[in-house]
Amino acid sequence: MSSDDDALDALAALGDPVRRGLYRYVAAAPGDVTRDAAADAVGVTRAVAAFHLDKLVDAGLLEAGFRRLSGRTGPGSGRPSKLYRRADGEHVVSVPPRSYDTVSRLLAEVVERAGLDAELQAAARAAGEAASAADPVHALRERGYDPYWDCGKLRLNNCPFHALAEQFPALVCGMNLAGIEGLLAEGWSAAMDPLPEGCCVAIEGPDEGGEV
Amino acid sequence: MLGPVNDFHLAQVNVGRILAPLDSPQLADFVAQLPEINALADGAPGFVWRMVDDEGADATSLRPEAEDDLFLINCSVWESVDALKAYVYRSDHLRVLARRREWFERLADHHSALWWVPAGHRPSVREAMDRVALLREKGETPDAFTFRSPHPPPVTAV
């Protein structure tokens, strides 16, 4: 089977609207998600959620693990809960075949060698400013960052440029930071404040703890 | 991480040629950010040591190439590749890194190198420069490599 077939099999699991809703909820959530939380979020029963969540694990889109949530151990502490999180790995398929990743790698290599960091950041900032919206949370969500509020800071659960950022971190993370700063409305600010997962940029809004 | 964690530490060297003297307006922002960015390194998880000159705050008065007064070096030791990577790319150090072309010449060849040292070892300027030269000469090897293809620490017999 080609890698395209693998990707198609994985993505075909998202054809079901309930399953897609569950995937989006788990993928955007910081940390692990229980069956109950996923069921509540999508508005289905726990049994239906469990069925679809396990299909998503089979497809390689989610990972599952067990943990006791009560904090107790030993006899009487209850059964461990099954928890879900977004799986590592990317699934890309294009019909007809397109290889934008190849192009982006080549371009990044050339931009890096030519030392065009400042030019790239300026372009990213301008693109961000052109798309700047009154509601940066919505804008970031649309761009795949999976934003969520945590202790008054807006965190980004996903890095939309992950593979390229791994290969060209100075170039791509610098570009990303400039792009986000351009996107932010007046009074918002971005800082490098990494968590173990996701984009390392954290954002503060104009009003303290202004959760939306 | 392969191998006993504490037997070997990761050494890092980075050399660069500044576009103007350190006391010029062009370098002012870079110089102004050094204390903060060095303090960030000193407090970063997995930080072990960094090379300083006789003044002791940073390495900006070291001149690894005697004839070239614009040629700077920075060198440090970390517990692991991941620890160094987290500081370089996932801390506010990235803000400084992202402006590298405002202050440093673009070098056509390798300008940084990583290698493993026995825990407790402190690389000299000469040793660090030799690793850059090795990388330029032989490409990535276990003796001098980059983040692109990190080598695991040597495995010691127990």
Is A174 in CB contact (< 8 Å) with chain B? yes
Helices (H), chain A: 3-12, 17-28, 35-42, 46-58, 100-114, 117-130, 136-142, 162-167, 169-183
Last residue of a domain, one of A86, A119, A154: A86
Range of the domain at A183: 100-204
pLDDT band, very low/low/confident/very high, at B1 (cuts 50, 70, 90): very low
The number of folded domains in chain A is: 2
Residue B64 placed within a domain: yes
Q: How large is the average pLDDT for residues A128-141?
A: 92
pLDDT of residue A35 exceeding 60: yes
Report for A5-9, A194-198, B15-19: range of highest mean pLDDT: B15-19
Chain A residue numbers touching B86 (CB-CB < 8 A): 194
Q: Which of A129-143, B1-15, B23-37, B105-119 has the least mean pLDDT?
A: B1-15
Q: How many CA atoms lie within 13 A of A93 on its CB side?
A: 13
Residue A22 placed within a domain: yes
Token pair 């402190």 in the structure block, residue: B122
CA distance A172 to chain B (A): 9
| pLDDT given at position B148 | 85
Residue B52 placed within a domain: yes
Residue A37 placed within a domain: yes
pLDDT of residue A142 exceeding 50: yes
| pLDDT given at position A194 | 79
Is A118 in CB contact (< 8 Å) with chain B? yes
pLDDT of residue A5 exceeding 90: no
Residue type, B30: F
Mean pLDDT of chain B: 91
Q: Which of B66, B42, B69 is nearest to B56 (CA)?
A: B42
Task: Give yes or no for a contact between A196 and A31, defined as CB atoms under 8 angstroms apart.
Answer: no
Answer yes or no: do A117 and B101 touch at CB < 8 A.
yes
Nearest CA in chain B to A174: B98
Nearest CA in chain A to B87: A194
pLDDT tens-place string over residues A42-88: 999 999 999 999 999 999 999 999 987 766 667 777 778 899 999 98
Is B92 in CB contact (< 8 Å) with chain A? yes
Nearest CA in chain B to A110: B108
Residue A56 placed within a domain: yes
CA distance A95 to chain B (A): 31
| Contact residues, B window 22-51, toward A, CB-based 8 Å cutoff | none
**Which residue in B85, B98, B148 is closest to A174 by CB distance?**
B98
pLDDT tens-place string over residues B50-88: 999 999 889 998 988 888 999 999 999 999 999 999 999
| pLDDT given at position B66 | 81
CA distance B148 to chain A (A): 7
Q: Which of A186, A113, A201 is nearest to A154 (CA)?
A: A201
| pLDDT given at position A4 | 82
Chain A residue numbers touching B92 (CB-CB < 8 A): 191-192
Is A123 in CB contact (< 8 Å) with chain B? no
pLDDT tens-place string over residues A152-166: 999 999 999 999 998
Q: Does A54 share its domain with A121?
A: no
Nearest CA in chain A to B149: A167
- Percent above pLDDT 90 for chain B: 72
pLDDT of residue A137 exceeding 50: yes
Residue B157 placed within a domain: no
Q: Is the ipTM of this complex over 0.90?
A: no
pLDDT of residue A13 exceeding 50: yes
Dist. CA B41–CA B89, nearest whole Å? 12
| pLDDT given at position A132 | 86
Last residue of a domain, one of A24, A53, A86: A86
Task: Give yes or no for a contact between A153 and A199, defined as CB atoms under 8 angstroms apart.
Answer: no
Last residue of a domain, one of A31, A55, A86: A86
Q: Does A104 share its domain with A199?
A: yes
Q: Which of A185, A164, A184 is nearest to A173 (CA)?
A: A164
| pLDDT given at position B107 | 80
pTM value is: 0.82
**Which residue in B91, B102, B148 is closest to A192 by CB distance?**
B91
pLDDT band, very low/low/confident/very high, at B157 (cuts 50, 70, 90): low
The number of folded domains in chain B is: 1
Answer yes or no: do A178 and B106 touch at CB < 8 A.
no
Chain B residue numbers touching A191 (CB-CB < 8 A): 92
| pLDDT given at position B90 | 87
Is A115 in CB contact (< 8 Å) with chain B? yes
